[in-house]
Amino acid sequence: MPDVVVVGSGPNGLAAAVILARAGLDVEVHEAEATAGGGSRTLELTLPGYRHDCCAGAHPMALASPVFRAFDLAAHGVELLAPEVSYAHPLDGGRAGLAWRDLDRTVAGLGRDGATWRSLFGPMVRHWQSVVDFAMSDLRRLPRDPLSGLRFGLRVLEQGSPLWNTRFRDDTAPALLTGVATHAITPPRAIPAAGAGMLLATLAHVGGWVLPRGGSQAIPDALIAELERLGGKVSTGRRVDTLDEFAGARAVVLDTAPAELLRMAGDRLPARYAKGLRRFRYGGAACKVDFALSGPVPWQAQGCALAGTLHLIGTRAEAMAAERTIAAGQHADRPYVLAIQPGVVDATRAPAGGHTLYTYAHVPNGSTRDISDDVIAQVERFAPGFRDLILAKNVVTGAEMPTHNANYIGGDISAGAMTLRQFAFRPVPRWNPYATPLPGVYLCSASTPPGPGVHGMSGLHAARHVLRREFGIRTDPLDLLRTAEPA
C-alpha cells in the first residue's frame, strides 16, 4: 500500500499528488473514468478530428494560480495561447463589450464608462499577484498584502450589493462585468458571484484567459507526467467503492464532492459531520453543448471574432433575470450561455477549415432537458448564420453530467452552490475544511476553499495539512513545486 492514495484525477487531486510525491512520498491516484483529468479532459465528442474540452475550456488561472506559477506549466510542455480579447460580451444591435488583454485598450472601447473600468481594475491589475494570493487562499489566514485584500473586498462588496450600478452610465461595461460574475451560476448581484467576477475580470488584463494548445487535457497530462517521473502511479477506470480499500495507506486525499465521501465512508463518519455533508447544497447546473463547425462563428459585433470566450445573455438586467429563474428551479427562455472558440488561437482543435465551439447554458439542478435549440438561438442572436455552419453537435444535459464526472451532482459543475455561507464554509463549518473526522482522510475538491476553477489551490491547501499532520513535513508546498527533485 502506498503512503498516500488520491481519489480523483482533477487538477486539485493531481496538484496534491505531485506535491506529496515531491516530498518523497509514494503516491497513487485512482480515477473512475476511462481517462484522467477530471473537469480538464479533452475528447473527440462530435466528429473525428474535432477535439472538445469536456468541462473547463478557457483558463484565467493557468498563468495566475500560485500552484501553476510554482509548477511552471510551460516548463512541463504546456503551451498556453492567449487570445487578443480575453472575453467578449455581445449586445443586441451589433454592439459588444471587449475585455482586451490590454487594459488601456479595454478602457478606450467603453466610452463614458472607460474611466470607471480603469478605477475598478487599474489597482487590481497593478497588484494582481496579491489579489490572486488573497482570493485563492484557504480564507483562514491573514493576507500578506492586506491593502490589496481590502481593495478587492470593497469592490466585491459594492458589486455584490444594490450599489452595483452606481458607477456606470451606459449598459456595455456593466454587462461586460456581469457576464464574468455569472460564471458562478447564481444571481450575479451576490458576494460570491461578485468575487468571481472581480478576480476573473482582473486576470483578463494580466496574462489573459489562455487556452492550452491541443485542449485542456494538456494541464492534467503535465501533472501526471511529473507524478510518474517521481514514481507515482495513476490508474483509470477504477471506481472506489469504500475507503476500506486503502486501510494500509497513511493518508487518503479525496478530490471528490461531499456526496462521494458519504458514499465511500459508509457509516464510519460521525453523525454530526455526516449530517453537515448531507446539508451541503448543490447549485444550478450546466447543459453542455459542443459543436463541430464548417467555419468560424460569424459574430455580428466587431472584435468578437478575436475573443477566446464570450458571454451570451445580453444586458445586466437580462443576466439577473435569467439567473433568478434558474435559482427558482425553472428554465430561462433565454439562458446564459458561455461560449469558447479555441480556433482563434489553436488550429489543432479541428481539421483544416473546421472549427469547434464549446458552449454550456445554465439550467436548474437535475435538468433532463436538451436545450441545444435554446443555445443555438442565443448564438444566432449575436451571430446570424451560425446555424448553417453546424456539422454535428454533442449534448450533455445537467442530469447526465455526473455520468462522466461524479462530482457534478445534478449537473453542478461548481461542486457546490456558491452561496455566501458556502463561499467560506465548504463543505461544512470547520476551521480546517480539508481534514475530515476520519484519521488520515482529507478533501481537496472544489467543494473546499477556494472553490471551483482550474487552479489546483484546494489540492495545495489539503497537501499542506497532509504533510504536517500525517508525516511531520513542514516544507511549504509551493517550495516543493518549485524543486525538480523530491525533498
Q: What is the pLDDT of residue 423?
A: 84
Cell of residue 335, nine digits:
439562458
Q: Which residues of the chain carry a pLDDT beneath 70?
A: 484-487
- Residue-wise pLDDT for 266-298, tens only, equals 999 999 999 999 999 999 999 999 999 999 999
| Cα atoms found within 13 Å of the Cα of residue 11, Cβ hemisphere only | 26
Pairwise CA distance, residues 462 & 426, whole Å:
13
Phi, psi of 249 (to 5 degrees): -80, 145
Cβ contact 32:10 at 8 Å:
no
Pairwise CA distance, residues 368 & 481, whole Å:
42
Q: What is the pLDDT of residue 123?
A: 96
Q: What is the pLDDT of residue 487?
A: 54
H-run or E-run covering 293 = strand 285-293
Cβ contact 419:327 at 8 Å:
no
Q: CA separation (Å) from 2 to 30, 236, 245, 261, 320?
A: 12, 17, 12, 20, 49
Q: What is the pLDDT of residue 424?
A: 81
Q: Facing residues of 396 across strands?
A: 288
Pairwise CA distance, residues 177 & 377, whole Å:
23
Q: What is the pLDDT of residue 428?
A: 94
Cβ contact 445:12 at 8 Å:
yes
Cβ contact 413:285 at 8 Å:
yes
Q: What is the pLDDT of residue 248?
A: 92
Mapping DSSP to helix (H, G, I), strand (E, B) and coil, where does residue 209 land?
A: coil
Instruction: For helices 114-126 and 191-204, give the axis angle rounded to 10 degrees.
Output: 80
Counted residue by residue, the chain has a size of 487
Q: Is 403 exposed, middle or buried (0-12, 13-18, 19+ CB in 10 A)?
A: exposed
Pairwise CA distance, residues 378 & 386, whole Å:
10
Q: What is the pLDDT of residue 483?
A: 79
**Cell 487599474, residue?**
122
**Cell 486501510, residue?**
247
**Which ranges in 1-113 belong to alpha helices (H)?**
11-22, 66-71, 103-108
- Residue-wise pLDDT for 131-151, tens only, equals 999 999 988 877 888 998 999
Cβ contact 450:442 at 8 Å:
no
Q: CA separation (Å) from 361 to 85, 210, 485?
A: 22, 21, 43
| Cα atoms found within 13 Å of the Cα of residue 440, Cβ hemisphere only | 15
The contacts of residue 234 (CB under 8 Å, 6+ apart) are: 9, 28, 29, 31, 36, 224, 227, 228
The contacts of residue 57 (CB under 8 Å, 6+ apart) are: 211, 216, 309, 340, 342, 358
Predicted model pTM: 0.95
Can you say whether the dihedral through the CA atoms of 254, 256, 262, 265 is positive or negative?
Answer: negative
Pairwise CA distance, residues 47 & 63, whole Å:
31
- Residue-wise pLDDT for 300-338, tens only, equals 999 999 999 999 999 999 999 999 999 999 999 999 999
